[in-house]
Amino acid sequence: MNTPPWHSWLGPRRARRLSERFGTPLYVYSAPVLRNRCRALLRAFPGVGLRYAMKANSNPSLLRMVRSMGLGVDTVSPWEVQLALECGFRKADLIYSGNNPSDDDLRAVHRAGVLINLDSLSSLHRYGRMFRGSRVSLRVNLEVGGGHHPHVITSGPDSKFGLAPEDLPEAKSIAARHGMRIVGLHQHIGSGIFDPQLFLDALDPLLAFSEALPDLEVLDAGGGFGVPYRPEESPLDLAGLGSRVTTRFRAMQKGRKKPLQFLLEPGRYVVAEAGALLTQVTTLKRTRDRVFIGVDSGMHHLIRPALYQSYHPVSMVPERDGAALRSFIVGPICESGDVLAEERMIPMPEEGDLAIVGNAGAYGFAMASHYNLRARPAEVLIDNGKVTVIRARENYRDVIRRRDLRAKR
């Protein structure tokens, strides 16, 4: 395999040392890579408010780092709001884009004083009834969608997200009835998008749509910037996209009396490449057709391969000599879908070797579970050669609470 991109901050020797010091499975993050991605975004989109979609990775230490770089956050649940505020973000730098909110969700977001993107007539109506005279933002579905997998396309006729354009008159009348002002307009078309043209194609109808909203103060074009996972994929031309997007934003600003604040909500772009999952080979098995490299992590820690057939690059430590064999890196979970990597050509490792699963910083730990009653991994951060535990390894009591054990039937 060619030198993997994480080699500069997670080479074989460091991986071995980390595994001995902190155990495996372990999420390892690079502070310089994360800062670097924030800088790239700030450079590409000058004058645009960046709201990191914290659903991608909500580790508090990473959140504080994102804040220190000058980004705000996009939140989708009351606890995300609470955590962001606890990590020092100002409420003005938060936006809320949750879907199908309960009345409790609406109340919590309102109480926190965070601008909310509402994407159904029902939620608009309920919000208006509870909070007469409030300011709201509308999430629209203007039919342009995209993404790396059907599950992550969030716009288009089959999507549960966003208000259809034909609902706008009704939305306006609900707002008027409750004395609400529609100050924001939002869309998010999907995740893992590489084609800059798709963002621009989505932007045009959004800009056109905004003309119908005289009180508009905030225009939020969502996130979705792709990062390369496969060796043959090349990175998105962020600077090129940035200049085209900001040109359109500026042109739009010119024709308006009120100043407009433009927002973007990248999640994956900020953290994906800043994280790797370090796991140890526990069990080797050869069948007639396959080599199974059994490791101590799996779909419960990184569900993307199982859920979206996502490809994550892998490097083995040490890199062994010998013929490369068609191998499957699989975990300890009792499902055949518990695969981290499929059909990789890898020389036969030995039990005790390590596998580094790259680009695992986004939607890795964030989607981890306790399935099969296993702990989620610990998380460490490398900054300036110093390694800090930013989430302690869970123990049995963290997962099985005494009060649940004692609960009477």
CB of 312 to ligand LLP, least distance (A): 10
Comparison of 136 and 152: residue with beta carbon closer to ligand LLP: 152
Q: Does 223 bind ligand LLP (CB under 6 A)?
A: yes
Three-class secondary structure of residue 260 per DSSP = coil
Q: Is 376 within 8 Å of 333 (Cβ atoms)?
A: no
Q: Is 347 within 8 Å of 314 (Cβ atoms)?
A: no
Q: Is 326 within 8 Å of 343 (Cβ atoms)?
A: yes
Q: Does 224 bind ligand LLP (CB under 6 A)?
A: yes
Comparison of 295 and 303: residue with beta carbon closer to ligand LLP: 303
Comparison of 97 and 134: residue with beta carbon closer to ligand LLP: 97
CB of 2 to ligand LLP, least distance (A): 24
Q: In whole angstroms, give the CA distance from residue 233 to residue 258.
A: 41
Q: Does 266 bind ligand LLP (CB under 6 A)?
A: yes
CB of 74 to ligand LLP, least distance (A): 5
Strand partners, 367: none
Torsion on CA atoms 161, 123, 187, 226, rounded to nearest 10: -50
Distance from the first to the final alpha carbon of the chain:
55
For residue 309, which phi and psi values (nearest 5 degrees)?
55, 35
For residue 381, which phi and psi values (nearest 5 degrees)?
-120, 130
Q: Using CB under 6 A, which of the segments 1-9, 80-88, 267-275, 377-385 binds ligand LLP? A: 267-275
Q: Does 209 bind ligand LLP (CB under 6 A)?
A: no
Q: In whole angstroms, give the CA distance from residue 75 to residue 66.
A: 14
Total Cβ atoms within 10 A of residue 351: 11
Q: Does 222 bind ligand LLP (CB under 6 A)?
A: yes
Among 188, 300, 301, 374, binds ligand LLP (CB under 6 A): 188
CB of 326 to ligand LLP, least distance (A): 26
Strand partners, 326: 345
Comparison of 76 and 317: residue with beta carbon closer to ligand LLP: 76
Q: In whole angstroms, give the CA distance from residue 380 to residue 377.
A: 10
CB of 59 to ligand LLP, least distance (A): 15
Comparison of 308 and 371: residue with beta carbon closer to ligand LLP: 308
CB of 55 to ligand LLP, least distance (A): 6
Q: Within 328-387, which residues bind ligand LLP (CB under 6 A)?
A: 363
Question: Which residue, 272, 326, 324, 317, is CA-closest to 295?
Answer: 317
Q: What is the chain's length?
A: 409
Comparison of 279 and 359: residue with beta carbon closer to ligand LLP: 359
Q: Where are the alpha helices (DSSP H) in 178-323?
A: 196-210, 238-254, 268-271, 304-308
Q: Within 127-186, which residues bind ligand LLP (CB under 6 A)?
A: 152, 154
Q: In whole angstroms, give the CA distance from residue 10 to residue 133.
A: 53
Q: Using CB under 6 A, which of the segments 210-218, 219-227, 251-259, 353-361 binds ligand LLP? A: 219-227
- Active-site annotation, residues: 334
Among 10, 50, 54, 56, binds ligand LLP (CB under 6 A): 56
Q: 47: exposed, middle or buried (C-beta count within 10 Å: 0-12, 13-18, 19+)?
A: exposed
Q: Within 78-117, which residues bind ligand LLP (CB under 6 A)?
A: 97
Among 24, 77, 134, 191, binds ligand LLP (CB under 6 A): 191
Q: Using CB under 6 A, which of the segments 126-134, 216-224, 241-249, 321-329 binds ligand LLP? A: 216-224
Q: Which residues of the shown chain bind ligand LLP in the complex (CB under 6 A)?
A: 53, 56, 74, 97, 152, 154, 188, 191-192, 222-225, 265-269, 304, 308, 363
